[in-house]
Structure 1
């Protein structure tokens, strides 16, 4: 067992099952290796909060004056993100928070406190975790570039930009943030291309951290959860699905004599389904429902990922974002790497017959897992 080897993990872990589970997977993997992994976030006292708010006002005011259309785009993004978060049911939100408190145990520190622990010998590294922590369509908090820590202790583990290109108003911020790393592992090929355009920091493409754990570990994670006994379609959409999408899922339900299980989101569009059950649950129930489903229909990146891990018949639909920043590149990149482009139902029609070469998928998955683990192990070991 490694003694006094602490690692700080800074990533998203709230209000989204995929975000929570990529954080859990990273923390779990590191702790299996014998490290103490601490999920960290920045907290503010009253004075600091006023300063942060003032800086945000200045940031948005400056960009509104310099870049035409910035303010209206920002307000539209802010409004749509708030609305999309509101689609998650209150019960699901409470289940998620309970899991986060019990399993992830996040620790809030001020910037001064973060800087202080970053200089200690027992903290050997800090990881900017996965998910869209570098989504440059919005203002990026410096904590997600680990700017409180010495450059030699910063590790970038599969962060996603979420978009195909960096808006002009964010290029300088992103460039400075990227140059604070010695090497960067990104989740998508588009991420490598973005970094190459902005700076000369070496990059490597790795898969999402949920792949740090294999299928048996994920099944063990969810083994205590019971799921419906009848065949069902697991339906998990982060944004309101289109009417065409709902119609296709209803057709699939009728054709395969399966019930529709809608998980943690209560869109009005779901009322069309003739055989429907609404379920809310924590991340363990989320994984178990994917594990036992006959089919998965989703617009979620991580629901697609877990469908691949669990060898499920799944269909991923384009996400109906309320804002004007499409984020399909990460899903298309994922499906392309696994030769599963036909899982992306862009035309809106689910094929009646299909098959998946799971042997080829498993080979790709294992190769990506090896690269991911090797990168993370090497980055930590050279700082130990």
Structure 2
């Protein structure tokens, strides 16, 4: 499964590497690392659209809440408050990116710039994360559908996500046409397979790339900063008030401190001790060494499972299909928080989850190896099973 191939391919990977988010950074790192372990040369195409820029994120604050959109003065105040947080956030993730990613020498700010000067590669690959989520991208972002370069260059995807259970009617046909150019398609959620089935396109369900390296491999990247501490960890991406309350009550019941990771300095007013935008390696250490993790995040849940750290997951109102697919796969649906209920202190027996991850890890490596070997051999499209 980990054997390097005789022929090395040049793979151009398009993924969410510029998003200042722990999950996005680590899935990009994992995808690149896994393909390299298979013996290939991997370069991340530096696609950096305006919406991911510092200024672009500030500008889009007005879209976060209706009150900001209708009140420019209030929006400006919010931008001033968030500005210091963005400085550290961008510094933390750019530092990680420069140290661990192999990125193209050319930076592309839009699809047109890629189409006018596409990178040369043996294979184009759409990586993981919510690359096909048009709501998050504010459009059907054709760069993530590899709509550039020579039509004879093979296109594949690994663990791509639509981020939702079904597509809007006005985007269905466009996306189907774009995906029909792929030789191999894999997605990370069962709902993604349903979407592909409706398009009559073959695809395989694979693990999120963060679950391909095992605990020992991620431990090498994690720091030792929190190794000897006892705490409950909260990672609340959606800022759900109920999740704050449940995690705080649980920590109080166990008489342990609550550590709350946030990208925003102004959230020091929330329950627990604020850990303001820790380094990526420290974030891994926090999950690895916690007594229990409370989160609405796919990747915090995935790393909890990989590290065998007790956890509870809260389904956000939107884009929860990815979390549901993971907990169902690992047989851990009993770790989904019930509304308004503080859970008991019950440790997880990870034996079933570990077996499921190991089984799916093997199948995921087999898919990736098969998809890349087909390009080495010059084979035509091979239909993938849809179940």
Specify if TM > 0.5: yes
Which deviates more from structure 2 when the two are superposed, residues 259-268 or residues 14-23? 259-268
Which deviates more from structure 2 when the two are superposed, residues 298-307 or residues 340-349? 340-349
Q: 1:299 to 1:90 in 2, by over 3 A?
A: farther
Match for residue 372 of structure 1 among 346, 364, 369: 364
Deviation at 1:268, TM superposition (A): 5.9
Deviation at 1:152, TM superposition (A): 5.1
Q: 1:261 to 1:43 in 2, by over 3 A?
A: closer
Secondary structure at 1:289 match in 2: helix
**Counterpart in the other structure of 1:49:** none
**Counterpart in the other structure of 1:35:** 40
CA contact (8 A) 1:192 1:203 kept: yes
Q: Where does structure 2 lack aligned partners over 5 or more consecutive residues?
A: 51-62, 70-77, 377-387
Instruction: Report matched runs for 1:208-357 at 5 Å.
Output: 208-222=208-222, 224-227=223-226, 229-242=228-241, 244-266=242-264, 271-273=269-271, 276-319=273-316, 326-357=318-349
TM-score (norm 1): 0.80
Q: 1:278 to 1:75 in 2, by over 3 A?
A: closer
CA contact (8 A) 2:125 2:157 kept: yes
Match for residue 88 of structure 2 among 86, 91, 101: 91
Q: Distance in 2 between matches of 1:100 and 1:327?
A: 26
Q: Distance in 1 between matches of 2:274 and 2:238?
A: 19
Q: Distance in 2 between matches of 1:30 and 1:116?
A: 18
**Counterpart in the other structure of 1:65:** none
| 1:113-145: CA deviation from partner (whole Å, max 9, x where unpaired) | 65351xxxxx22111001110013331221111
TM-score (norm 2): 0.80
Deviation at 1:330, TM superposition (A): 1.1
Q: Where does structure 1 lack aligned partners over 5 or more consecutive residues?
A: 46-72, 118-122, 321-325
Q: Distance in 2 between matches of 1:204 and 1:3?
A: 24
Q: 1:261 to 1:44 in 2, by over 3 A?
A: closer
Q: Distance in 2 between matches of 1:151 and 1:348?
A: 54
Q: Distance in 1 between matches of 2:33 and 2:119?
A: 25
Q: 1:151 to 1:338 in 2, by over 3 A?
A: farther
- Cα RMSD of the aligned pairs, angstroms, is 2.8
**Counterpart in the other structure of 1:48:** none
| 1:222-261: CA deviation from partner (whole Å, max 9, x where unpaired) | 1x4412733111211112221x322221211111121111
**Counterpart in the other structure of 1:17:** 22
Deviation at 1:358, TM superposition (A): 0.9
Q: 1:190 to 1:219 in 2, by over 3 A?
A: same
Q: How many corresponding residue pairs?
A: 339
Q: 1:11 to 1:116 in 2, by over 3 A?
A: closer
Secondary structure at 2:134 match in 1: coil
Q: Distance in 1 between matches of 2:65 and 2:282?
A: 35
Instruction: Report matched runs for 1:52-63 at 5 Å.
Output: none
CA contact (8 A) 2:262 2:274 kept: no
Secondary structure at 1:193 match in 2: helix
Instruction: Report matched runs for 1:37-186 at 5 Å.
Output: 37-42=42-47, 90-107=87-104, 108-109=107-108, 110-112=113-115, 114-115=117-118, 117=120, 123-137=121-135, 138-149=138-149, 150=151, 153-186=154-187
Q: Distance in 2 between matches of 1:92 and 1:75?
A: 21
Deviation at 1:5, TM superposition (A): 3.0
Q: Distance in 2 between matches of 1:264 and 1:383?
A: 42
Secondary structure at 1:26 match in 2: helix
Q: Distance in 1 between matches of 2:280 and 2:270?
A: 27
Q: Distance in 1 between matches of 2:47 and 2:230?
A: 44
Secondary structure at 1:169 match in 2: helix
Secondary structure at 2:355 match in 1: helix
